[in-house]
Structure 1
């Protein structure tokens, strides 16, 4: 009787453990599950929590000030990176399947549409699903938003000066002829910025540079279309170097 009880207990523990591991695996493949850790007060690539839910819903108005800005924006960028990486894994997996479920077809339709790639052209889609180095994103976010202090970024959570050309999307008015996109939170802003670089023809060279492993200070030369200022590249490189942003690319 004692041996039977021990066997039942051991079996229960095994099933429970297997269930949790299997659920986690499904979450990763589905692009909806994140690895969680504890965010330390010290900013370092090893102890940043990429997916702290309270952090992902941050508003720009909450992260003003250089150090506060960096501390909050880096985990959000890493979360977007995680999302894109998991979507790429799923796309690669589905590209090999001959028969898809309705849910899988819907997922692929949305991804192809988001990246503006013809449905079924997996090679082109995977080619566009890039993620710029964190150091480059932090530099652009800090420059475009004034470390989160600009009026536009505070009103719209728009860290990258993303303009709006449609009345049918959330936006804020700068003047009679200029509007900026408005986001629910900072993560939406980061994600939209990455998607813009991923699908716009003006950033084809940038995407190639990222795939070739060029670092952030080398990639800045491909952003001439992003800003008309002749010294834009130099400003970004100065921010990256003077703040040691490359430590976040580890």
Structure 2
């Protein structure tokens, strides 16, 4: 049975390699259990254009508009990830009880594909890696990196490519060539069809790419201790995101401290519109 599963996964992976390259990564369509206790993932419209954030002369007004624009996308994507994580834990329990069904196997294969898990690992290792990867990225971390990398939504890459996080791609024509790209380099700054795709791709990068293993390990340890996942602590694992290393981390932490009250203001406004109680900005 395990041999057939590996063959199936390899075939799916080969087919994926033969498809045209794209910087857009769509998650697996997962059948979610109705017993998770999680709210449904809200239907977010396609954000295919950025507001002109450069029009705001008041700094706080610009920040509030930026957070108001981006926060619903981040919350929806994190909720989608939580649904995937809940389903993963359910599948793991079924595996331990020797009760895996075809739907479980199909959804597990989809998660392994999306989160780039080596199919040659043992079943126990597969679940361990997936639990480390299928998890939320604190919204304050997403917001501050987006603000930092896109100059609050005004950079050339943000305006022309809807790329808020400085993500790269490596096929000619896949993005925008940086003006200061060193000679001999082939990377481009990726272009996206929507800001939704930019946010989703960024979160997938954080959750799969080897340079961010430190962040995932920090998050895993906090999960094991049932501690809150706080951005100001988890950004310690982003040393590889920028050539500035520790300086970059300290800058993000400073931005989190300064901007948390503004993000809470936006969250309170959003909650008031929905009639909900606002949650703490993490």
What's the TM-score once normalised by structure 1's chain length? Answer: 0.71
State how far apart, in whole Å, the 2-side matches of 1:135 and 1:63 are: 22
> Which residue in 2 is equivalent to 1:67?
64
- Residue 122 of structure 1 is matched in structure 2 by 127
Alpha-carbon distance between aligned partners in 1 of 2:33 and 2:174, rounded to the nearest angstrom? 31
Shift of 1:193: 1.1
Shift of 1:68: 1.5
**Contact 1:60–1:148 (8 Å) recurs in 2:** no
**How far, CA to CA, are the matches of 2:177 and 2:104 in structure 1?**
38
Structure 2: give runs of 5+ residues left out of the alignment: 1-29, 54-61, 265-279
Distance 2:241 2:235 in 1: 10
1:51 aligns with 2:42: yes
- State which of 203, 226, 230 in structure 1 corresponds to 2:241: 226
Deviation of residue 81 (structure 1)?
A: 0.5
Equivalent residue for 1:203? 212
1:146 aligns with 2:151: yes
Alignment of 1:158 with 2:163, yes or no, is yes
Tell me whether 1:182 sits opposite 2:191 in the alignment. Answer: yes
Say yes or no: does 1:89 pair with 2:89. Answer: no
Q: SS at 2:169's partner residue?
A: coil
**2:259 equivalent among 224, 243, 246:** 243
Count the aligned residue pairs. Answer: 205
Alignment of 1:161-172 (within 5 A): 161-167=166-172, 170-172=174-176
The list of structure 1 runs, each at least 4 consecutive aligned residues, that deviate by more than 6 angstroms after superposition, is: none
What is the match of residue 56 of structure 2?
A: none
Cα drift, residue 218 of structure 1:
2.2
Q: Identify if the C-alpha distance between structure 1 residues 29 and 132 changes in structure 2 by more than 3 Å, giving closer, same or farther.
A: same
Deviation larger for 152-161 or 226-235:
226-235
Deviation per residue, 1:39-69 (Å, 9 max, x gap): xxxxxxxxxxx73523xx1135236342221
Rounded to whole Å, the distance in 2 between the matches of 1:220 and 1:94 is 30
Looking at structure 1, the residues matched to 31 and 115 of structure 2 have their Cα atoms a distance apart, in angstroms, of 23
Aligned-pair distance for 1:221?
A: 2.4
Larger Rg: 1
Deviation of 1:113 after TM superposition, in Å, equals: 1.6
- Change in 2 beyond 3 A, CA 1:128/1:155: same
Residue 29 of structure 1: which of 16, 29, 33 is its match? 33
Paired residues of 1:51 and 1:79 also in contact (CA < 8 A): yes
Question: Partner of 2:189: helix, strand, or coil?
Answer: strand
Say which of 69, 75, 78 aligns to 1:78.
75
